[in-house]
Structure 1
Amino acid sequence: MKRFNNITKIAAVTIGAIITLNACKPDLISLNGPSTGSFPANAKEAEMGLFGAYQNISKLDAASTPMWHVMDNITDIGFARPGTNYTSPITSAITTDNALVNKPWQVHFATIARCHTVLDNLEKLKASMTETAYDQLDAELRFVRAYCYSQLIELYGGVPLLTHSVDLSNASVPQSPKAEVEQFILDELTAIADKLPISQSQFGNVRASRVAAYMLKARVALYAKKYKDAATAANTAISLSAGVHDLTEFNSTINYVGKDHTVGEPDASNIFGHAGFKSSKEWIWVAEYNMNIPGNTHNQQYYSASRLGKGVCYWGPTQDLINTFQCDDGLPITESPRYDASKPFENRDPRLDMYCARPHMRYVGYQFEPATSFPQVKNYWPVINGTSPTAPNVANADATNAFRSFSGYLWRKPIDLVDFGSTSVSGVSDLNVGIFRFAELLLLYAEAKIEDNDIDYTVYEAINKIRRRAKMPELPTSLTQAQLRKALRYERKVELANDGLRWYDLRRWNIAKTVMNGVIYLNRDAKAWTKEVITGFDESYTPIYNHAEAVKYFTTQQVVYQENKDELWPVPKSEMDANKKLEQNPGYK
């Protein structure tokens, strides 16, 4: 697949290669150069064009990691290996040629162009298709386009609103205001939602469904602060999900949380792993990868995993996120009698260990110890593979390698052990990536109702359903709006950790200016700490530190957020050069 560097080329693209899916598994097929004037010539070509648009979304990556699992690592809850592309976004130092911020513009507009290549000529096929088939194909293409625009406006603000292919002679298109694009998205989703099947689980949820359309509508409306519309759309999606989508219970490895490496390894792969994408009802819409298709893989597992676990520790949770997890009595660590700073990982919200890897536990088959006081650790792979009843000792590269975890922690979600039993240090994965899941849908509904101050039993139930799955106590009743907002923000922060939504939450809640100014705390050397490092949590469930005490144990990363600049990313320089009608976002040169 050819990649494009600027919108003028994207707008004029003709399909030279199309991805088709066999049971929604893409296979590369050359169409020998159909032109935008003749393509699609029939319903089959139109369907192949749709599949090409779906597949193009999977190109959205950075450091060979799907973008959805990159975004949280440039916030307060995740940290990337220091470097220009990932340090600059948290220090207000992004330049207009930053590869990270350029990629979404390029990929989303390329995907939109693929949609237009089919949509522009689709009506010619109407007479040769059933009304249902035609309407569904049209709706799926418009859904993909709406999703791309929903991402573009949150990252860049106003963007060119293209509703048809644009040729090179007329490719300079100015930005439309964000609100105008936002309304276009909502109108599109209103028009097409009911033309989609309720579910497309038979295709592994890689194709858009009615539930996905209403969920996208709810998310866009919520981000636009149209709370009644968001609640209505989310409620419709939840109602449609009955018998189709639901939360998936954690498997039996939840019994290992809060314990050490000797008992076993927490594993959420029945939701976030290969098995989960095949069978979990939690997934509503998924980006698909396939090892058999050139270029349709990623190196997410390699970039995420520990040094011993065939990885390079590129991403990891921050100390700020680790400290956020409540105790298992539902109280913050500054209030719970069950919190012991000398044993800080015991008696905590099980999602700490289900979603994150921390010292003293097993991770991708090894005892994980970032501290140099552990020169050797256990290798459990002989036990896992059944070749030995005991785990031998190995040298602890996770404590000695210069590029070990920079935060002292690693992401367990969405790691899958299956990939580590078969890949080499440079291996690739085709683990799918979830874009929409039922847990987020519940939280979209709850937040919309809370912000509209329309609080009833259903708000509590939406949040409590997620907490019950995590074996956490239900919320106390009769909370105020402010208390419920804080509870909701806790759930989004921990349940959706590493799902790629925190960057957007910080901005739409208007808390980035405080959360991302000052320092975030890391614990690369896995030092013990005292209870005095934290004095409480603010109204958005951000830890409040006693800095003088905290720096005795934790390292810090300076973070900078400039208002009227860092709300958005810059328009890529290559786009500004190619399209003279584009205007740069405030604060960028």
Structure 2
Amino acid sequence: MKNIKLIYLISGVIICLQSSCKKFLDIDAPKDSLSAAQIFKNDEVATSAVTGIYSGMANSGYASGGNASITSVCGLSSDEFENYNSSLVEFYENELHPQNTSIGSLYALPYTHIYTVNAILEGLSASKGISATVRSQLEGEAHFVRAFCYFYLVNLFGPVPLQLNSDYRESRNNPRAPEAAVYQQIIADLETAERLLTDTYVSGERVRPNRAAAEALLARTYLYMKDWQNAEKYASLVISKSNIYDLVGLDEVFIKNSKEIIWSIFPSANTNSQEGNLFILQGTPDYVSLRTSFASTAFEPDDKRKTAWVGNYTDQTGSYDFPYKYKVKSSTTISEYSVVFRLAEQYLIRAEARARQNKLTESATDLDQIRHRAGLLPIKNTHSDINQIQLLTAIQHERQTELFAEWGHRWFDLKRSGLSTAILSPLKAGWKSTDILYPIPTDEISRNHQINQNEGY
């Protein structure tokens, strides 16, 4: 029975992703199926089971870079985007309802990938037909993906259930685990991934996680946990790999396999990134544009990022600024993948971690790596006697202008710094402090009576 269940989970997840299935966990296993040994019979088939997860991410809402992705909805929830679509207005006005279908996808699809990972880990453990090198790589990737999914679940929804095996009958009624427990599981998975993976990109492209991807997410996780020493440690590990990673020119950052990219998601067949398709305006906006206040006030004078990364479209209805980090809206010539982790963030993580430890000179040096590329004067030149609070404020501002329109960084930065209400309440008429967490979907609460709703919903 366990073999039947395992194969069903792996094959069923693929079907579920393709059909936008919302109630995967409620489907019963089929009466007959292939054995786990057949699915994990050799390196090639086992690898396909793992890489299928990344295809699912490219096609599914939360990780796709499209209009229902974390990048899109969190940009609307923060102060980055204007909204032009009725399906997204609840995010823009921070008036979310638990029945919102996008909320359902943001919650359910990461769990779909988590269950796939759990099934794969069990299948790899039972298989005798996979080489040691491939087994280590695939197990490392699986642990990384589970940590990645839980990182976004805990930051979007707060405490969430920990599901660590593929038997949904055991885990479907799990209560919400405290945030601290979720973070500890993220760290445990990433430490395992770091141990199992190497710095090599096994596909030849930067679309399957390697050791540096695990270290990059460890650095971010420790930053969010306020463990400044470990955040500095892991960011330094990534930055030190200068033979693999470097800061490249502003127009080269988001080109596939650029030296700045740590991990990216290969887009759907015959397309470039969904971010480019969503953001680049060639007509009146259908979904989002940049807030006028962001484009006009966030950047310092002479900041090259405003020219390189902000586009404008004007017609008879008005003038609209848009994120222009990705340069291709639509083309069958594939030149851009969806960038998830890149080196600039690691410099900003280390700058903040060092500033929090009162290592102000070292922190300013890291910050100036980013400022130099943007054509700005070094912070230590313009503020020779900068103190810790001023430096942290400068780092926060640099994160805003460097990481805008990427993976919800601004939304999460406001939340973890305690500045959401101060920044967003003047912009959002119905803002409440409890809006920093999204609601748990109604379907999940109806299905699992051990789960309670977030405050304010």
| Alignment TM-score > 0.5, same fold | yes
Relative to structure 1, the CA distance from residue 514 to residue 37 in structure 2 (aligned partners, 3 Å threshold; closer, same or farther) is farther
- Cα deviation, 1:482-534, whole Å, max 9, x if unaligned, reads 11111101110001111131111110011001111022xxxxxxxxxxxxxxx
CA contact (8 A) 2:118 2:164 kept: yes
1:69 aligned to 2:71? yes
Q: Equivalents in 2 of 1:195, 1:172: separation in Å?
A: 31
Relative to structure 1, the CA distance from residue 51 to residue 415 in structure 2 (aligned partners, 3 Å threshold; closer, same or farther) is same
Letter of the 1:304 counterpart: F
Paired residue secondary structure (1:154): helix
2:349 aligns to what? Answer: 444
1:286 equivalent among 255, 264, 268: 264
CA contact (8 A) 2:59 2:268 kept: no
**1:281 shift after superposition:** 0.5
Relative to structure 1, the CA distance from residue 129 to residue 448 in structure 2 (aligned partners, 3 Å threshold; closer, same or farther) is same
1:580 aligned to 2:456? no
**1:196 shift after superposition:** 0.8
2:399 equivalent among 492, 495, 502: 492
Relative to structure 1, the CA distance from residue 479 to residue 435 in structure 2 (aligned partners, 3 Å threshold; closer, same or farther) is same
2:280 aligns to what? Answer: 305
2:25 aligns to what? Answer: 8
Letter of the 1:490 counterpart: H
Identity fraction in percent: 25
- Cα deviation, 1:38-94, whole Å, max 9, x if unaligned, reads 6433333221111112222223427943724312233112222153x4332343411
1:271 equivalent among 239, 242, 253: 253
Relative to structure 1, the CA distance from residue 76 to residue 350 in structure 2 (aligned partners, 3 Å threshold; closer, same or farther) is same
Relative to structure 1, the CA distance from residue 561 to residue 199 in structure 2 (aligned partners, 3 Å threshold; closer, same or farther) is farther
Relative to structure 1, the CA distance from residue 468 to residue 482 in structure 2 (aligned partners, 3 Å threshold; closer, same or farther) is same
1:217 aligned to 2:121? no
CA contact (8 A) 1:37 1:121 kept: yes
Relative to structure 1, the CA distance from residue 40 to residue 130 in structure 2 (aligned partners, 3 Å threshold; closer, same or farther) is closer
**Any gaps of 5 or more consecutive residues in structure 1?**
15-31, 251-267, 329-347, 359-367, 370-397, 520-557
**1:577 shift after superposition:** 1.6
2:416 equivalent among 490, 508, 520: 508
Q: Equivalents in 2 of 1:44, 1:465: separation in Å?
A: 42
- Cα deviation, 1:235-265, whole Å, max 9, x if unaligned, reads 11212x2210111113xxxxxxxxxxxxxxx
Q: Which has the higher helix share?
A: 2
Q: Equivalents in 1 of 2:274, 2:346: separation in Å?
A: 28
Relative to structure 1, the CA distance from residue 153 to residue 46 in structure 2 (aligned partners, 3 Å threshold; closer, same or farther) is same
Letter of the 2:149 counterpart: C
2:162 aligns to what? Answer: 161
Relative to structure 1, the CA distance from residue 483 to residue 277 in structure 2 (aligned partners, 3 Å threshold; closer, same or farther) is same
2:5 aligns to what? Answer: none
Q: Equivalents in 1 of 2:176, 2:285: separation in Å?
A: 40
1:455 aligned to 2:360? yes
CA contact (8 A) 2:311 2:324 kept: yes
- Cα deviation, 1:161-194, whole Å, max 9, x if unaligned, reads 0111023476222211111010111122123303
Q: Equivalents in 2 of 1:412, 1:246: separation in Å?
A: 21
Letter of the 1:399 counterpart: Q
CA contact (8 A) 2:94 2:435 kept: yes
Q: Equivalents in 2 of 1:95, 1:152: separation in Å?
A: 17
1:568 aligned to 2:422? no
**1:297 shift after superposition:** 7.4
Superposed, 1:535-546 pairs within 5 Å as none
Q: Which has the higher strand share?
A: 1
Q: Equivalents in 1 of 2:34, 2:356: separation in Å?
A: 50
Superposed, 1:35-184 pairs within 5 Å as 39-61=39-61, 64-65=66-67, 67-70=69-72, 71-83=74-86, 85-125=87-127, 127-168=128-169, 171-184=172-185
1:243 aligns to what? Answer: 243
CA contact (8 A) 2:77 2:94 kept: no
Q: Equivalents in 2 of 1:77, 1:299: separation in Å?
A: 18
CA contact (8 A) 1:115 1:141 kept: yes
Q: Equivalents in 2 of 1:117, 1:237: separation in Å?
A: 30
TM-score between both structures, scaled by the size of structure 1: 0.68
CA contact (8 A) 1:245 1:284 kept: yes
The structure having more radius of gyration, on CA atoms, is: 1
Q: Equivalents in 1 of 2:195, 2:323: separation in Å?
A: 37
1:414 aligns to what? Answer: 326
Paired residue secondary structure (2:432): coil
**Any gaps of 5 or more consecutive residues in structure 2?**
1-14
Q: Equivalents in 1 of 2:202, 2:352: separation in Å?
A: 27
Pairs aligned (count): 432
**1:4 shift after superposition:** 2.7
Relative to structure 1, the CA distance from residue 44 to residue 567 in structure 2 (aligned partners, 3 Å threshold; closer, same or farther) is same
**1:202 shift after superposition:** 4.8
Paired residue secondary structure (1:277): coil
4+ long deviations beyond 6 Å: none
1:466 aligned to 2:346? no
**1:36 shift after superposition:** 5.8
